[in-house]
Structure 1
Amino acid sequence: MEPISIAMISDFFHPAVGGVENHIYMLSANLIRKGHKVIVITHSHQPDRVGIRWLLPSLKVYYIPFLPIASSATLPNFFTSLPYLRTILLREHIHLIHAHASLSSIGHEGILHSHLMGIRTVFTDHSLFGFDDAASILTNKLMVGTLKNVDAVICVSHTGRENTVLRGELFERNEDDPNVLELRKSVYVIPNSLIAEQFKPSIQPPSDTITIVFLSRLAYRKGIDLLVATAPRICAMFPNVNFVVGGDGPKLIELLQMREKHLLQDRIELVGSVRHKDVLSVLSRGAIYLNTSLTESFGIAILEAACAGLYVVSTRVGGVPEILPEDMISFAKPEEEDIIRAVSEAIKIVQDGKHDPIRAHERIKTFYNWEDVATRTEKVYETVLKSRQMELMERIHRTMDLGPFAGIIYTIILLVDCIFFLFLEWWIPRDSLHYVHHHWDKEVFKELVEEAEEAEKLAGGSSSS
């Protein structure tokens, strides 16, 4: 594939830490290694982190001055981001934008604006959402309006694909019979991944004590209520079992109350928020990893734990059954009694020596790698760039299909966006933009690093003499 210029757009990126942030960074780094130009556009995460920053390996990040309202997400505003995105996308000669996460307002806005400049669009959905609560209804309606005009959609699991197709109404009318709806062909499944070398198992000395590790954001959808209910009972059933719980969130107070109530301070350790670089050190303390999520599109934490050699116990929800072979994981219903059954089964497997951490790590290495993810994503990009681009009238017709109420609102937004774009073309003509003609030269950077290392050696030699 010929090198192209790609803009990753999302509210969720470093210095914030999470699965979406890590996915964007690792995918960008591997696309850069394949010869593509990649930039990231996100909002300012700290008062002093505004403007342009560089991350290795030669990843340029634009932090535009928008403040988040909750959980690193910005307020949907549709139009105020257009001046920023137009300038960045034009001056960087972007061919394709790749937006990430359903809750990322700036990602949705990037898809809305990009068609005005002839830039192709791809969207990756990382989460599962319901259909009956207020937050899901609003998020789904916003996503439907966006995905009506996106060129391709990527999901991280087959379960996530089904969820996204239904939430985003990714159907098209049959050309022969307009009353028949067909699934859009431009919906793909590319799983998440990890760097296996960063999660090498550590050989623990023989011990009768079995430690269960729980690492997650302490929020309702992560099933913390199930952990609160089952942990005391497991401790009572197995005197040789301890817990290490990592993470922070609104449910922390309930874990603290449970530990106090049952006098388990010496058996349930709460280590607080864990930085990504310290995840392995926490996982290495355990033999079993417990996941009690109520909804999960992929579950990268499960994959990291299995790669670190832990036997996994998880609720059978979302895309979790797609991650690991059945002999590396025990499933449970998201119910108290069934979780206790699955944990008991896992304890027996570990005690009997039926789980080999080193072999589990070697198997994970063959299942997942970022280079494969980047290659598959490249093929999606190539398909999108070769496909026919939608005209404005086609976009309007697609948007009107949202319904008599939402369709009219979104169509007005689309038309106002076009008028605002024409105004910007007059007010800030393209000829006045400062275009980027030079990018990070890896060969020059390598030479500078070698020169710096040589100078450091000479300085060290002269000081010693």
Structure 2
Amino acid sequence: MRIVLVSDSYLPVLGGIELHVRDLAERLTGLGHTVDVVTRTPAEGDRTPVDLREVVPGAGRVVRLGGSAFLGSRLARVLAGADVVHAHSSVVSPLAWRAAASARAEGIPALVTVHSMLPHGATLPMAVALRAATAAGLRWTAVSTVVADPLSRTLGVPVPLLHNGIDPAPWRGELGGRSRREAAGSTFTVVSALRFAARKRPVALVRMLADLHRQLPPDVDLRAVLVGAGPLLEATRRRLSAAGLAGRVELVGRVDRDRVRTLLTQADVYLAPARLESFGLAALEARCAGLPVVAMASSGVTEFVRHDVEGLLARDDEHAVQLLRELAVDPARRDRIHRHNLATETDATWSRTLAATLQRYAEAGAGTEGTTRTAVVRPFVSQGSTPPA
């Protein structure tokens, strides 16, 4: 099939949607499909996307549309001849919505996957942007139950799940079945990977670490490593300094997956502070590395973390601090969760996600050729960007 994946945000921006779309493109290409990724994100070093000037059907690539190009004939030329259009939507995703509506109008099978939770009481912008008839003609999926349930109520149609995927094997790390206490000594190390933006709550994360530091017994020393970048990075650095944590919390910035894997093997627990976390790919990576995950019970992390099984689920920030303290002083509990996570495969593997994605394409009316082949992942050749490893 010729498959067009549409995401307003894409590499070189790093985040859950961006990495998922890149990985999905790789795996679909590995099955022999032709994949175009369409985005509004500029290439590395460019301030604005370049408008599309020519489309060569069948040439798998990244097409970066600048300005209002996605409103006109340029987008139509990208979509022409597609067997299926798969739009990946966040809270506000005008390109993805336009592509889904255009595909629907041209009779091209279209699937929309919603990747983001909405604040309580918010009206789904997509439901307003798309006419009811258009919305009803699309196939809808969501990355987690906390996204699917309100979306289904808003649209009045069933919304099945389509998880983000992971290959667990590379994340299992070098520690294997070794004790985390043996690896870390008397230091309790917390790791978190996030975009430093309000939605991910980095300032709240600093408060939680400060409270945890005050509550730990004298024989347990706190260390934390925060991975990522974003508009609140410097504000977070100032907050850490004001809280007296500058020497205990390391901000490592944006790093590749190999570096993240190394950091996970050196940690005792993973903390996911966001309440509006729709899925939590970074938390899933940590879970596959064996780490107990502490996350909010209201978030999409519950798709792969059960309380006191793969991690601990908190009612609020104060409860999260309490749970972190419990893990800090109870290495046997940490080791039990660690061993379970290494020995038990998550349901959100790429083999399951890829099969489910192809099934959704077929349900939308796309061809099914290649759905039974064995996936061989090949590098996805992009124009204008070099995705991280």
User: Taking structure 2 as the reference length, what is the TM-score of the superposition?
Assistant: 0.80
Q: Distance in 2 between matches of 1:378 and 1:318?
A: 26
Query: Could you tell me how far 1:142 is from its partner in structure 2?
Result: 2.1
Residues 258 and 37 of structure 1: is their aligned pair in 2 closer, same or farther, counting only changes over 3 Å?
closer
Q: Distance in 2 between matches of 1:109 and 1:367?
A: 32
Q: Distance in 1 between matches of 2:333 and 2:362?
A: 50
Selected match of 1:156 from 143, 148, 165: 143
Q: Distance in 2 between matches of 1:162 and 1:97?
A: 23
Deviations 1:17-36 (A, max 9, x none): 21111211222322333343
Amino acid at match of 2:162: I
1:25 and 2:26 matched: no
Selected match of 1:363 from 332, 344, 348: 344
Residues 237 and 146 of structure 1: is their aligned pair in 2 closer, same or farther, counting only changes over 3 Å?
farther
1:385 maps to what in 2? 365
Structure 1 unmatched ranges of 5 or more: 68-76, 172-183, 388-444, 446-465
Query: Could you tell me how far 1:316 is from its partner in structure 2?
Result: 1.2
Q: Distance in 1 between matches of 2:245 and 2:5?
A: 45
1:324 maps to what in 2? 305
Selected match of 2:168 from 159, 175, 196: 196
Q: Distance in 2 between matches of 1:124 and 1:147?
A: 15
Deviations 1:164-214 (A, max 9, x none): 223xx322xxxxxxxxxxxx24x2112112121221223273512111112
Deviations 1:255-284 (A, max 9, x none): 323332343332122222333442212222
Contact 1:11 1:107 in 2 (8 A): yes
Contact 1:313 1:346 in 2 (8 A): no
Q: Secondary structure at the match of 1:16?
A: coil
1:209 maps to what in 2? 187
Selected match of 2:206 from 228, 233, 239: 228
Q: Distance in 2 between matches of 1:334 and 1:146?
A: 40
Query: Could you tell me how far 1:157 is from its partner in structure 2?
Result: 1.1
Q: Distance in 1 between matches of 2:226 and 2:341?
A: 23
Amino acid at match of 2:129: L
1:264 and 2:245 matched: yes
Query: Could you tell me how far 1:52 is from its partner in structure 2?
Result: 9.6
Q: Distance in 1 between matches of 2:302 and 2:269?
A: 17
Amino acid at match of 1:214: S
Q: Distance in 2 between matches of 1:318 and 1:144?
A: 29
Q: How does 1:400-419 map to 2 (within 5 A)?
A: none
Q: Distance in 2 between matches of 1:356 and 1:317?
A: 21
Structure 2 unmatched ranges of 5 or more: 368-377, 379-389
Q: Secondary structure at the match of 1:94?
A: coil
Q: Secondary structure at the match of 2:173?
A: coil
Amino acid at match of 1:83: S
Q: Distance in 2 between matches of 1:386 and 1:258?
A: 51
1:121 maps to what in 2? 110
Contact 1:287 1:309 in 2 (8 A): no
Selected match of 1:109 from 90, 98, 101: 98
Selected match of 1:339 from 304, 320, 332: 320
Q: Secondary structure at the match of 2:140?
A: strand
2:83 maps to what in 1? 95
Tell me whether 153-162 or 320-329 shows the greater mean CA deviation.
Answer: 320-329
Query: Could you tell me how far 1:352 is from its partner in structure 2?
Result: 5.6
2:42 maps to what in 1? 45
Query: Could you tell me how far 1:98 is from its partner in structure 2?
Result: 0.7
Q: How does 1:230-309 map to 2 (within 5 A)?
A: 230-238=208-216, 239-309=220-290
Residues 165 and 261 of structure 1: is their aligned pair in 2 closer, same or farther, counting only changes over 3 Å?
same
Contact 2:34 2:60 in 1 (8 A): no
Selected match of 1:5 from 2, 6, 10: 2
1:402 maps to what in 2? none
Deviations 1:2-47 (A, max 9, x none): xx32211121222222111121122232233334332222235133
Amino acid at match of 2:28: L
Residues 129 and 144 of structure 1: is their aligned pair in 2 closer, same or farther, counting only changes over 3 Å?
farther
Q: Secondary structure at the match of 1:188?
A: coil
Amino acid at match of 1:105: P
1:373 maps to what in 2? 353
Contact 1:20 1:100 in 2 (8 A): yes
Q: Secondary structure at the match of 2:271?
A: strand
Q: Distance in 1 between matches of 2:283 and 2:131?
A: 30
1:83 and 2:73 matched: yes
Q: Distance in 2 between matches of 1:137 and 1:373?
A: 25
Amino acid at match of 2:363: T
2:63 maps to what in 1? 63
Q: Where is the helix percentage greater, Structure 1 or Structure 2?
A: 1
Q: Distance in 2 between matches of 1:259 and 1:130?
A: 27
Residues 52 and 23 of structure 1: is their aligned pair in 2 closer, same or farther, counting only changes over 3 Å?
farther
Q: Secondary structure at the match of 2:23?
A: helix
Contact 1:297 1:320 in 2 (8 A): yes
Q: Distance in 1 between matches of 2:272 and 2:22?
A: 25
Query: Could you tell me how far 1:138 is from its partner in structure 2?
Result: 4.5
* Root-mean-square deviation (Å): 3.1
Larger relative CO (CA 8 A, sep 6+): 1 or 2? Answer: 2
Q: Which of these two proteins has the greater Rg computed from alpha carbons?
A: 1
